[in-house]
Amino acid sequence: YAHKNLNILNASRDITLRAGASVLSATFYNDVLTIVSAGACHAYLVRQGYLKKLVIPDSMDFFTTDEHEISQCHSPLSGLGLFEDLHLQIRECRLAKGDLVVFLTDGAFSRLDEEELRFLMNKKTVSEIESIEEVFELCNQRGNKDNQSAIILQF
């Protein structure tokens, strides 16, 4: 419904002036997490020190292998209101006690590599909230100008 209404508002606008939003949502039942996403968002599983991608951004990332300015490649290829068709990713993951699931918007991951994120999520000397604050701070020190959102689900 939100996608349809925003798409109607955007129809008369130039593509560079359209409003839009990425979305990442989840449900949990019987130890299975189901994630639905559209746009430039990441979801990761942190389990026993390892970091695994659950959802990858639907963005321009796939069109470049240049990691020097990867932060410039996160323009979404899908998202609420941006284009007529909404492309969704749907993933399922069986979770175990002690798992963390981390949801990040592009402003929170675009200037980090996965090894840095894994290190920050596994620091035993800080809480999960402090880890996210460090993620935001590091991205901002590297020139991030985008909004930042993060959610950590603990199991």
pTM of the model: 0.78
Q: Which among 47, 147, 61 has a CA at the least distance from the CA of 104? A: 147
Structure-block tokens of residue 120? 């920050």
Which residue from 73, 67, 88 is spatially nearest to 22, judged by alpha carbons?
88
pLDDT in tens, the chain (155 residues): 888 898 899 888 887 887 888 889 999 999 999 999 988 888 999 999 899 999 887 766 655 555 555 555 566 667 777 777 888 889 999 999 999 999 988 777 777 788 888 888 888 777 888 888 888 888 888 887 777 788 889 89
